[in-house]
Structure 1
Amino acid sequence: MAQGLRAAIDFLLYEWLRVQTLATRARYAEHSRETFDAVLDTCERIARDKYAPFNRLVDTEEPRFDGERVILPAATHEAWRAYADSGMLCAAQDYAIGGMQLPYVVEAAGNAFFAAASVSIGAGMLTVGNANLLMAHGTAAQQRAFALPQFAGRFAGTMCLSEPQAGSSLSDIATRAVPDGPGHEDDPLGPRYRLRGHKMWISAGEHELTENIVHLVLAKIPGADGRLPAGVKGISLFIVPKWLVDRDGRPTGQRNDVALVGLNHKCGWRGTPNTLLNFGEGRFPVAGAGVGSGLDGQGAGAIGYRVGAAGDGLRQMFHMMNEARIGVGMAATMLGMAGYLASLDYARTRQQGRRLGPAGKDPAQPPVRIIEHADVKRMLLAQKAYCEGALALELYCARLVDELRTGDAEAAQQAHLLLELLTPIAKSWPSEWCLEANSLAIQVHGGYGYTRDFPVEQYWRDNRLNMIHEGTHGIQAQDLLGRKVLMQGGSALRALRARIDATAGRAGALPEWAQASAVLQQAWQRIEGAAHAAWASGDPTEALANAVPYMQAFGHGVIAWLWLDVACATVGREDPASVGRRQACHYFFRYELPKIDAWLAVVQARDRTCADMPEEAF
């Protein structure tokens, strides 16, 4: 599996995105393709040695709570330590804080190996996202005490948004934060509050892998009347560590009032503890609540330090959420890729059936390998088109991050617009279609694929989560059609179309791709036209009733564009890998892109079949 994955990553990085040219920029001047390759080699080795052999183990030996600690297999501890020691937690950070100052696209490519080897052991996605948020929005003291220890692997990080009664509807959260008495604004680590509430679905919310766990918690500050503010504008963001620390981030030995209520038992990602946490229930009371705290009885509350201004928490948290959404897309991509490569290996060795035609009717003829059957090739080609197309999308988005950081003003603005527009696609498209790739991988294996004797059933179970976490399909679709295609008068969509048209122009000059170029441009005319039609009445209820079909069409249009761009990069190459990429591009244009017409039809008509279905008629 690793050889096929590395070859795909190398081609996309160096032959398509030309990331080696980033070394000409001042930030990356000490790097070269050799250093990029060395990082990828290290990640590939650790993933092969510390992650892949234990993927089944962490699936069957789920985290368990003994009343005091969450117990994880020794393999998980060893994998985390190897990952932290590699420096990948701060790969893209400045040299000044111990980072490697790598391009973000190289960091993303390196982390792909861990997701493919064992996504549920994990590779620090939330820890890095937590620290990055604090580097963007925290004070210098908060960065020193909470972000830098995460980059060093001493602390881990979480994001605490959802609550038992409020999943994606963050305006309904009820966790409250009140000032910790007089002088609370003067704490060196930031304005100090006491939190009370419950948070649900917290990945890695409790474990013993690190010295400390830094929870980033959304909560509301009550008004003078004691009531919580309505809506999302009243949400603030707080740092709530498991263990209290001094101003330099050294744990003091005092446990904060954050208690594990229970572990969620999941379909997949079983190696990652998923938790329900109570903040301020009094299990670990912290002395010293101020007289103005307004909290008493069962505990004074968990200590939290406000990040930035009160009421600005959701905007700040989007910094982490958007990063996590691209991370989820990469995880989905790699699970799909792992299943594809496993089913490809199986199809090359499994013998069953005979060729069609007169010769195939002779039972004396030996059976053929199943890869020789056209329908098996169809399933393999679909997986390749989905997974390598998704990998191109994720690496393209990662490359935009580098443009945002190091490009000139115009290039950075273009990268910002494109990232805003593509983030819902980067999260949603792989989580749907690479899951479909996992289903096809099971199908290629036949009955064996449905057993635990082969890994593909676990890949499917692990991947099923990705359509849900960090925002469901419905939320991503409403973000895309309700906000992103409209933002700044459609400027983000125009920026995307300019790149699509540039690819179509190059492809149109090549005989093999001239027809695909025309088809791509026609498809995007329909995608844009459907968005205008959806909003023609100005009624959000009508416009967004079919937001998911619109997002599916939009995503297919993006992947078709990227495949055509990748295919252009193979022109003049006749090696098997290049032939395979051109065939995958042809497959996507002939089998997949035509699907957008059905999706767009209901969008364009503002069809109300689903919206008007009476509840009692179900």
Structure 2
Amino acid sequence: MKTYRDTLDFLLQHWLRLDALYTREHFADHSAETVTSVLDTCERLAREKFAPFNRLADTEEPHFDGERVHLPRATHEAALAYAQSGMIAAAQPYEFGGMQLPFVVQLAAAGFFKLGSVAMSAYGMLTAGNANLLMAHGTPAQREVFAKNEFAGRWFGTMCLSEPQAGSSLSDIVTRAVPDGEGFEHDPLGPRYRLTGNKMWISGGEHEITENIVHLVLAKIPGPDGKLPAGTRGISLFIVPKRLVDPQGQLTGERNDVVLAGLNHKLGYRGTTNTLLNFGEGKHRPGGQAGAIGYRVGEAGQGLRCMFHMMNEARIGVGFGAAMLAAAGYEASLAYARDRSQGRPVGPAGKDPTQPPVRLIEHADVKRMLLAQKAYVEGSIALGLYCARLVDEQHTGTPEAADEARLLLEVLTPIAKSWPSEWGVEANSLAIQVHGGYGYTRDFPVEQHWRDNRLNMIHEGTHGIQGLDLLGRKVVMDGGAGLKLLAARVSDTAQRAGQVPGLAERGNALGGALQRVGAATKAAWATGVPEEALANATPYLQAFGHVVLAWLWLDLAVAARAAGAALPEPRLQGTLSAMHYFFDFELPKIDAWLAPVAARNALTREMRDDWF
């Protein structure tokens, strides 16, 4: 965890200038010292409770005995230790058990747990997102009963979107919610409904870690004719607790009609239960009636808008988790390359077989693989923390700054989720390669890191979905305001780099790349036909993401140079080297990705089933 902590110290102190937040009233109780204490505590907990049991959580998969789901005792202890640390509510107000920490600090601290065991940490992360949604969209009673108990770690939470027949196509969900008798709108916990249906891929959907699980469930309310409304506009959101509670937040002793139908057995992330849940199948009938009791959150038909609050937060979290898995592989392969001796250098000196072998890290190609990992890992961490810093600006900045932060987050969220997920897996693949044959075995942790990380390219929206979101919505929304604002930030970095010796050429390259993305965006939409523009949305996403990461790396290089003697020489040179690697080896890839976008290449769109 030393490499990650060193990276955090640079990013928080010298790049994001966290000290500027402490002058704001909401964060007035905090300082560099309190933040250091939080990071120290989380690093220690992750080192003691999570990292030693990561392999155990992988090999002893969750299993169901027909009544209960069983997890290793270490998973229970780690999840509860995380809850007891206060980190679920870290960024929340004091009155809800929070610390009023900046969200960027909460995410940075969460990184230690993800680094220690991403699967074991998922329970707390999901719960935080669930409770944060209720803080934004729930009634006072829902915040007091459900969110507050989740923040305290007494209950954990999930989100239930997908269905077996619908997958990511939320407009096709068929889970239904009907009013629970007369006076249903007057329940103290919110309008009360009975839900029936099936939900798939529910992480943390069943376990015995906490006394209750709070499910946030998307469902449709039938119309007067009994039919479900078509499309996403008819979707509503409901709180469906595993065990029923009274208006004071106490368990009633009655089980809700939510039943585990099965566990999904996965390539990675095995330490997190992943479930198929049946709502209202009749095994448990609260009040003698069929259907799981749920309380509506927000207005009817506005469920997807509410749920996107959690989904967008989860997308940043997924990307950051991918970054931390890549970081775990990087740290492991760096240590291995420094310790393992094999082969001799190229050139005359290497032709003498009597000379001892050199360490792996002395070979140029191994350095290439380590440098690539460093560029992917630290760039991804910077991206996640930058987005978290925007969240803080949105909540505590001036009205103008808050609006700019909102626009930037709209554009950057698809990148924050997808880029670390794709290139984090590549980093983990390189970590295996550095280990050679040993990397492919379970004697070393890097094969598990790769397996765990492969999920991040799928959950919370695949690359295809993120690409459609970016090119189809985010870069054109509000007349392209978000894209223009991001372009201004990128251009500012390029201009500042032009004033720093050795960085002017990189600034020019970044400016040129930005222009090519802008031109491709206009060309894609030149005909105004969505089918033509969006057929190549994924390569657009890849190119856009690489430009964003090039921008961040150049901005980091400018900050590192500005820090001067305050920055240790290895950190300065490492940052500059990773930036140069990205510009020399990665940024040139964007032209191949942008070419089909700009040409509105029709190959994939016109490909026919029988041609395969």
Aligned equivalents of 1:476, 1:514: Cα separation in 2: 33
Matched position secondary structure for 2:41: helix
Aligned equivalents of 1:448, 1:177: Cα separation in 2: 53
Aligned equivalents of 1:413, 1:223: Cα separation in 2: 37
Aligned to 1:415: 405
Would you say 1:35 and 2:34 are equivalent positions? yes
Runs of 4+ in structure 1 off by over 6 angstroms are: none
Q: Deviations over 1:93-142 (max 9, x none)?
A: 00112210000000000000000110010151110111111111110111
Aligned equivalents of 2:288, 2:350: Cα separation in 1: 83
Aligned equivalents of 1:533, 1:246: Cα separation in 2: 57
Aligned to 2:543: 553
**What letter matches 1:98 in structure 2?**
G
Matches of residues 140-539 of structure 1 in structure 2 within 5 Å?
140-287=140-287, 289=289, 300-539=290-529
Aligned equivalents of 1:442, 1:471: Cα separation in 2: 26
Aligned to 1:49: 48
Matched position secondary structure for 1:121: helix
Aligned to 1:617: 611
Paired residue for 1:598, among 550, 568, 592? 592
- Deviation for aligned residue 1:288: 5.3
**What letter matches 2:213 in structure 1?**
I
Matched position secondary structure for 1:166: coil
Matched position secondary structure for 2:113: helix
TM, length-normalised to structure 2: 0.98
Matched position secondary structure for 1:276: strand
Matches of residues 9-20 of structure 1 in structure 2 within 5 Å?
9-20=8-19
Aligned equivalents of 2:249, 2:50: Cα separation in 1: 30
Matched position secondary structure for 1:201: strand
- Deviation for aligned residue 1:599: 0.2
Aligned equivalents of 2:424, 2:192: Cα separation in 1: 44
Aligned equivalents of 1:178, 1:403: Cα separation in 2: 40
Q: Deviations over 1:367-392 (max 9, x none)?
A: 11111110000000000000000000
**What letter matches 2:575 in structure 1?**
R
Aligned to 2:99: 100
Aligned equivalents of 1:576, 1:304: Cα separation in 2: 55
CA RMSD of aligned residues (A): 0.8
**What letter matches 1:526 in structure 2?**
R
Would you say 1:585 and 2:575 are equivalent positions? no
Q: Deviations over 1:204-258 (max 9, x none)?
A: 0000111100000000011111111000000000100000000021111100000
Q: Deviations over 1:567-603 (max 9, x none)?
A: 0111135611110110000000000000000000010
**What letter matches 1:227 in structure 2?**
K
Matched position secondary structure for 1:321: helix
- Deviation for aligned residue 1:505: 1.2
Matched position secondary structure for 1:355: coil
Aligned equivalents of 1:272, 1:82: Cα separation in 2: 16
**What letter matches 1:238 in structure 2?**
F
Q: Which moved more, 1:185-194 or 1:573-582?
A: 573-582
- Deviation for aligned residue 1:21: 1.9
Aligned equivalents of 1:534, 1:467: Cα separation in 2: 25
Aligned equivalents of 2:302, 2:386: Cα separation in 1: 30
Aligned equivalents of 1:472, 1:14: Cα separation in 2: 33
Aligned equivalents of 1:288, 1:266: Cα separation in 2: 36
Q: Deviations over 1:181-220 (max 9, x none)?
A: 1111111111111000000000000001111000000000
Aligned to 1:297: none
Aligned equivalents of 2:81, 2:608: Cα separation in 1: 55
Aligned equivalents of 1:98, 1:258: Cα separation in 2: 29
Aligned equivalents of 2:528, 2:15: Cα separation in 1: 41
Q: Deviations over 1:53-73 (max 9, x none)?
A: 000000000001111111010
Matched position secondary structure for 1:252: strand
- Deviation for aligned residue 1:287: 1.6
Matched position secondary structure for 2:346: coil
**What letter matches 1:301 in structure 2?**
G
Aligned equivalents of 2:394, 2:608: Cα separation in 1: 47
**What letter matches 2:329 in structure 1?**
G
Aligned equivalents of 1:256, 1:493: Cα separation in 2: 46
Aligned equivalents of 1:323, 1:179: Cα separation in 2: 30
- Structure 2: gaps spanning 5 or more residues: none
Matched position secondary structure for 1:512: coil
**What letter matches 1:181 in structure 2?**
G
Matched position secondary structure for 1:490: helix
**What letter matches 1:31 in structure 2?**
H
- Deviation for aligned residue 1:511: 2.1
Aligned equivalents of 2:287, 2:500: Cα separation in 1: 73
Aligned equivalents of 2:351, 2:43: Cα separation in 1: 46
Aligned to 2:130: 130
**What letter matches 2:595 in structure 1?**
A
- Structure 1: gaps spanning 5 or more residues: 290-299
Aligned equivalents of 1:141, 1:582: Cα separation in 2: 52
Aligned equivalents of 1:62, 1:30: Cα separation in 2: 42
Q: Percent identity?
A: 70
Aligned equivalents of 2:386, 2:174: Cα separation in 1: 38
